[in-house]
Amino acid sequence: MTRHFTDIDDLSAGELATVLDTASELKSQVRRGERESLLERQTLGMVFEKPSTRTRISFETGMTQLGGHAIFLGPDDIGLGEREPLKDTARTLSGYVDCAMVRLFDHEDLETLTAHATIPIVNGLTDDAHPCQTLADLLTIRETVGFDSRVTWVGDGNNVAQSFVLGCALAGIDLTVVTPNDYGIDGSVLERAAELGARPTVTNDPTAAVADADAVYTDVWVSMGEEGGDEKRAAFEEGGFQLNEQLLGETDARVLHCLPAHRGEEITDEVLESDRTLVWRQAENRLHAQKGLLAVLCGAL
Ligand code: CP
Ligand code: NVA
């Protein structure tokens, strides 16, 4: 059966460990100037409905390092859902490429693609989930503060947050999620986390939520394609959800952000540029984590 990666809990805890272990090994090889051609002559199709810096570059570079090739298909190329039905695109792609990574608006479109594709489909972000980001987040946490640390998500209960909740549940990380009341994690995601054995602590008090944290993670308040931005920004600002030195107080918490960051909005320039920051390691780890994922999904291990 074709394995897809629609969200992080498509992997078992054991498979997640394999992906992260492979990522670490491949990262060490790159550091030594080595490249292991695990996906020689394989091709990844990359379909984007939204802009990207990290996802596009890390997947394309990752395929090159693994001895394969990646094809970029932007909004004007494939015209996803416009030139032909999604199921026709899924079947056509399946006849050409070995794997496809897609960045979409509607998560249901991803499900339509996976229902008709006979190649692995990787979620490169939808409005609901960003599991490739979670792989890099977990690799970064494992390399630094460790899985036995306390992590706090502060901000919007968005796509990045939802996959991170599930990833922490799989990895056994003690997670607190602090969001304004109207912008929390979807109840169905909290249920899935509970099924994985670890529902996060959910609050709306940022100061209390970061007080004991070893790492604090945030993301933009208004995501790509989202409407009602002004009202939303006002709610986060009034609620004290900006990640700044005052909020971090006396803690020596490290700071995570998936990027791109809106400095002065959800996070200050001071915090992002401080010794607390893990964000550049986190961004680089997208490359290594996804190479580990592709190796597992494409059967190279
Ligand atoms: N974090 C992330 O996915 O970045 P891009 O939107 O630049 O790909
Ligand atoms: N939540 C953000 C993440 C970008 C990588 C967005 O969807 O725009």
How far apart, in whole angstroms, are the C-alpha atoms of residue 269 and residue 279?
13
Give the residue numbers marked as catalytic: 103, 130, 133, 219, 258, 286
Q: What is the pLDDT of residue 155?
A: 98
Q: What is the pLDDT of residue 299?
A: 82
How far the first Cα of the chain sits from its last, in Å, is: 17
Residue 7 and residue 163 in contact, taking contact as beta carbons nearer than 8 Å: yes
For the chain, which ranges sit under pLDDT 70?
none
The predicted model scores a pTM of: 0.98
How far apart, in whole angstroms, are the C-alpha atoms of residue 260 and residue 256?
12
Q: What is the 3-state secondary structure (H, E, C) of 71-126?
A: EEECHHHHCCCCCCCHHHHHHHHHHHCCEEEEECCCHHHHHHHHHHCCCCEEECCC
Q: What is the pLDDT of residue 149?
A: 98
In this structure, whether the domain defined by 145-277 belongs to CATH 3.30.450.70 is answered with no
Q: Is the CB of 198 under 6 A from ligand 1?
A: no
Picking from 234, 177, 229, 178, the residue whose alpha carbon sits closest to that of residue 200 is 177
Q: Do the bridges between strand 254-257 and strand 215-218 make them parallel or antiparallel, or are there none, so unpaired?
A: parallel
How far apart, in whole angstroms, are the C-alpha atoms of residue 51 and residue 288?
21
Atom of ligand 1 nearest to the CA of 125: 3
| Domain boundaries of the chain, sorted by first residue | 8-130+283-297, 145-277
Q: What is the pLDDT of residue 14?
A: 97
Measured at the CA of 286, the angle between CA 138 and CA 97, to 5 degrees, comes to 120
Q: What is the pLDDT of residue 131?
A: 99
Report the topology of domain 8-130+283-297: Rossmann fold (3.40.50)
pLDDT digits (tens, 9 = 90+) for 18-51: 999 999 999 999 999 999 999 999 999 999 999 9
pLDDT digits (tens, 9 = 90+) for 72-103: 999 999 989 999 999 999 999 999 999 999 99
Asked if domains 8-130+283-297 and 145-277 share a fold, the reply is yes
Protein residue whose Cα sits closest to atom 6 of ligand 1: 52
